[in-house]
Structure 1
């Protein structure tokens, strides 16, 4: 049994997804020796109910200079972050000389709207490649990991912030004690920290176990975030359900007593209690459902192979590493994965070593079936690839269960 990184309580493991690689490290053909692997297992803290990975991957291995993920790659996500920025400009960033800091700004998709509005801002991201893309868009970026020392330096050189924001980033950071000490130093007395991440309730509901991979260390609920915030002298004051990335929650945290918690916080806490989301039995049932999904997906792909059907995959996502390696998928079952990211093309998927090809390969010719790894963008992708369906192709999805479309 391991120890909780938040409260030092006992963490009981409930799901083991086996030997896994770095989810965003795509080796070149012939360059697979020396790949980094770790055991991907998840546990529940008996004290604060925080669900977390049992084994931590060193941050320098994951968030490298050549980190290939770009937030702007999806039109849906671009619209989401532009709307988020406009909302902040109308709410938290309305005072004299407002200042916002984004943790993990990636390619600057949110801060670009803030920059265009002439509002002071600073992105903090450790991956030099995406940080440079953000700078080319006119976004101010500091290439660094955000932690207490970073926050202290920003406060000293830039002043305190009205808002600190993080999207799909806080769940990546095991050392949240340093993060909250940094927030305490950086935020104005009435400032807020707003972050959005995959929601454990949605992961359990959809059996979307591929949301679990090396970069996602924590899996938040309102209850665990409330306990975490209180432990660091803050308070959860608002929650909002979001449809993006397979279901997320946006949490707003302020210093204790600075703001009155909204009714939405109590409503989500009651819902989680009713669902027994922090009950070990609930998570054990989730683990059983994950195993069933694995068995059904492998059986389907093996049957299609034996029938001579051609199957490819769509979207070399980070989460697809979990599916491919947990299910033992390789080039014998999937001919290739198509992806729009140039940095991934002509390489191999992490651990499973399936070739990654450019989007043009998908229609030259169309396969019989396409396994949709990027299922969280299903509507956008299927609309884009109508010709695939017209040619007789069918999509394979595994969330919330294995089925054909």
Structure 2
């Protein structure tokens, strides 16, 4: 990478280098285990002009998202989060019976189904063929397409401008951030609203959440850098919410620049927090690499010592972030014989790079392991409850992020 994808600057500085890994969602079928896997450098840098943190665009969205292994509806807490958002957005934006809502990267309809239930006209724009088909099967109108300015203009011409455009957990997934933002502007009405949820770089740095760095996440936002990105497409930030999702996210409320007005006090408060954390100067980034190395050492030490004591450790979940962690730590089936996942799409497959088998969740109760390593640590409250049954045989849960934590669950 030689230039920043947002401002074009050549002043990019290393934050953390995680080596080279396969794309995190490229789960392997059994018949591919004897075939080579492509790996790509995973090196996070920050632009010291606009402070956008980013990795090189070494894979294309088409390679990742044409068929996708992640279905949002398998997370109970995420579906409830979407339900609450829709209820709040109806009030905030004033969505009536004649409103039109568009969600970009709408996945399997986990959010728009709540819009459909309210009788509000909506459309999902989802590039993945398989998850888009699941959304249509659930009664959510869905267009299989990547968002671009042309796509946005075509949807507007056919369906009319959107009163609300939602883009949850996608603003980091597109290398052409300027073109994508212009696509959002093409979709939204001239007096409409855009709501974007994306992981907050502030919590990523503060909480050692380095496993959320992977190839389909091309950039990592502060409110300051997101404001600049929105402006590149003619949108202006008017409000921000701090959310606990994905370990710490920001919900950005934006409007066309012509009608936006002054941002709320909350925007200024979060910008002050980011500045105090040193994220608009290099001081906020210099210690991150050393803290990442400690997470790796602590997890490996735990797994090796458990194996030497004859104790069993299995995994729970096969999220993209888990594959960054497993590959960076060099964890193989000798230390983690399998992981489980609620998504049937992943059953019988293997994690990319580390080749760890993925089994149905019921296997844990069959094998009664001493420890369960929870890879989607961001769902901690939900999973401590779901996995409470491991208490029956004295099993414990292990969370690797932000630091190694061993939890005794209660029945």
TM-score norm. by structure 2 comes to 0.95
8 A contact 2:101–2:123 mirrored in 1: yes
Within a 5 Å distance, the mapping from 1:207-218 to structure 2 comes to 207-218=208-219
Corresponding residue SS for 2:315: strand
Name the SS for the 2:367 alignment partner.
coil
Q: CA deviation at 1:249?
A: 0.6
Does 2:401 match 1:399? yes
Cα deviation, 1:115-146, whole Å, max 9, x if unaligned, reads 12111111000111111111122111000111
2:256 match: 255
Change (3 A) 1:185 1:331: same
- TM-aligned CA distance change 1:393 to 1:96, over 3 Å: closer
The aligned counterpart of 1:99 is: 100
Q: Which residue of 1 aligns with 2:363?
A: 361
Gapped regions of structure 2 (runs ≥ 5): none
Contact 2:100–2:122, Cα closer than 8 Å, also in 1: yes
Deviation of 1:96 (Å): 6.6
CA-to-aligned-CA distance 1:352-387 (integer Å, 9 cap, x gap): 001111111111121111111011112111112212
Report how far residue 2 of structure 1 moved: 2.2
Number of the residue aligned with 1:201: 202
The one-character-per-residue Cα deviations of 1:312-365 (angstroms, maximum 9, x if unpaired) are 111011111100000000001101001111111111111100111111111112
| Alpha-carbon offset, residue 164 of structure 1 | 0.9
Cα drift, residue 93 of structure 1? 4.6
Which residue pairs with 1:48 in the alignment?
50
Deviates more, 1:336-345 or 1:87-96: 87-96
Asked if 1:8 corresponds to 2:8, the answer is yes
CA distance in 2, matches of 1:211, 1:180: 22
Match status 1:127 vs 2:128: yes
Q: Deviations over 1:7-44 (max 9, x none)?
A: 11122222111111111111122413142311111110
Q: Which residue of 2 aligns with 1:234?
A: 235
Task: Report the 3-state secondary structure (helix = DSSP H, G, I; strand = E; otherwise coil) of the residue aligned with 2:190.
Answer: strand
How many residues are paired up? 404
Is 1:243 aligned to residue 241 of structure 2? no
Question: TM-score of the superposition, structure 1-length normalised?
Answer: 0.96
Greater shift after overlay, 47-56 or 358-367?
A: 47-56
Q: Which residue of 1 aligns with 2:288?
A: 286
Distance, in Å, in 1 between the alignment partners of 2:20 and 2:217 is: 16
Q: CA 1:93 to 1:137, structure 2 compared with 1: closer, same or farther past 3 Å?
A: farther
Q: Is the 8 A contact 1:13 1:54 kept in 2?
A: no
In 1, the alpha carbon distance for the partners of 2:62 and 2:232 equals 27
The answer for the alignment partner of 2:24 in structure 1 is: 23
- Secondary structure of 2:275's counterpart equals helix
Greater mean alpha carbon deviation, residues 378-387 or residues 145-154? 378-387
